[in-house]
Amino acid sequence: MTLLALETSCDETSAAVVRDGKILSNTVSSQIKLHEEYGGVVPELAAREHLKNLLPVAQSALRDAGVSPDQLDAVAATQGPGLGIALLVGFKAAQAFAFALNKPFLGINHHEAHLYSPWISGNPPVADFTNFQPNVSLIVSGGHTMLVQVSAELKHRVLGGTIDDAAGECFDKTGKLMGLAYPAGPVIDKLAETGNPGAYDFPRPLLNDPSDDFSFSGLKTSVRYFIRDHPELLDDRQKVCDLCASVQAAIVEVLVKKTIRAAKRLGVKCVTASGGVTCNSALRRELARACTNNGFTLRLAEKSLCTDNAAMIGILAERKFLAKVPLPSLDEEIQPGWALA
């Protein structure tokens, strides 16, 4: 089958064409420059940009794939979670497109799409579920941090999630406190390369808590007061690098240790990770090291598929369509606060 997918859950406008597990095209238009001066995503501006970019992006994806609209078998879009006003643009456009073509429409959970993105690899990218293993999956991004047990393909349950701030938000907000450019996560990652992760001792929230939940608001607050009490550090580049490395080390340690602990408890042999923060080099390195030391197979989503993209939406939509999972009606609404079931 051939399927067009749209993704507008936050500040990337993306369209992808998928055919039989192969990603024929994946076009992404970023809004980072637009939101940079505000230090974060402004929902109203994001929605306006989606309205402007969606049609050209979709046309580009179809053109790159060499597919015409009449060759499509279905249309999919992110249904939630995400910014409601941003989700609305892609979701309603996809519904209208499906209606005009008289084709099935699939609304896809953004978290769930991340969940299966580690099984997409290669150039060109192909989804390969033939060696699928039960796993514990870490989904970590700017707006969500969660651990999920995946017992089989399309069968999963949430073990725990953030009770306040997500890891990605902690990266960005602490970076903003340091005066770093938005988005601060990648900047912290870069500066931390030459920093000392043991220079400053920041808390590891819920590290020893037996639950699978996460909390990063306390870490963010700790950094805020540390900078307030030591403002001179921000005038020394090396000390800023040390600060970045120390904050990053605290976040990564919590993510890795809680993931490994959950995998051990559940007796799985495979760990996966996805979402925007999975681009972080320290997280990828430490998770790989921990999995090797504990005998787990590790599957990391490709960096190009960690941030918001329509390719992962299309792959999951195709799998659900072929598995005959009940499809939403064309009048179904977005679900901006909808968590992974």
> How many domains does the chain fold into?
2
Q: In a 10 Å sphere around its CB, with 0-12 CB exposed, 13-18 middle and 19+ buried, how is residue 30 labelled? A: middle
Identify whether 195 is part of a domain.
yes
Identify whether 337 is part of a domain.
no
CA distance 8 to 25: 17
Residue 324 is predicted with a pLDDT of: 86
Residues 108 and 144 in one domain: no
Identify whether 130 is part of a domain.
no
Low-confidence ranges of the chain (pLDDT < 50): 341
Identify whether 255 is part of a domain.
yes
Residue 245 is predicted with a pLDDT of: 98
CB atoms within 10 A of CB 20: 12
34-39: long-range pairs with CB below 8 Å, 24+: 35/11, 35/182, 36/181, 36/182, 38/182, 39/176, 39/182
Residue 142 is predicted with a pLDDT of: 82
Residues 159 and 273 in one domain: yes
> What are the two backbone dihedrals, phi and then psi, of residue 269, each rounded to the nearest 5 degrees?
-110, 0
For residue 212, the SS3 value is coil
Contacts of residue 90, defined as CB under 8 A and 6 or more positions apart, other chains included, come to 6, 7, 8, 9, 13, 50, 54, 77, 78
Residue 98 is predicted with a pLDDT of: 96
Residues 93 and 168 in one domain: no
Residues 163 and 250 in one domain: yes
73-124 pLDDT tens trace: 999 999 999 999 999 999 999 999 999 999 999 999 999 999 999 999 998 8
From the list 83, 100, 96, 1, the residue with the least C-alpha distance to 48 is 83
Residues 50 and 175 in one domain: no
Residues 185 and 258 in one domain: yes
Residues 285 and 311 in one domain: no
List beta partners, residue 287.
Answer: none
Identify whether 333 is part of a domain.
no
Identify whether 274 is part of a domain.
yes
Residue 304 is predicted with a pLDDT of: 93
Q: Do 61 and 17 touch, CB atoms closer than 8 A?
A: yes
Residues 64 and 103 in one domain: yes
Contacts of residue 76, defined as CB under 8 A and 6 or more positions apart, other chains included, come to 3, 4, 5, 6, 94, 105, 106, 107, 108, 313, 314, 317
Residues 86 and 117 in one domain: yes
Residues 277 and 163 in one domain: yes
Dihedral, CA of residue 299, residue 305, residue 307 and residue 309, to nearest 10: -140
Radius of gyration of the chain (CA): 20
Residue 341 is predicted with a pLDDT of: 44
Residues 69 and 113 in one domain: yes
Residues 170 and 284 in one domain: yes
pTM comes to 0.94
From the list 126, 7, 16, the residue with the least C-alpha distance to 64 is 16
Q: What is the CATH number of the domain that holds 11?
A: 3.30.420.40
Identify whether 334 is part of a domain.
no
Identify whether 329 is part of a domain.
no
CA atoms within 13 A on the CB side of 200: 22
Residue 332 is predicted with a pLDDT of: 74
214-229 pLDDT tens trace: 999 999 999 999 999 9
CA distance 311 to 314: 5
List beta partners, residue 3.
Answer: 18, 74
Residue 338 is predicted with a pLDDT of: 57
SS (H, E, C) 293-313: HHCCEEEECCHHHCCCCHHHH
Please give the residue range of the domain that contains residue 20: 2-125+305-322
Q: Which helix (H) or strand (E) holds 319?
A: helix 310-322
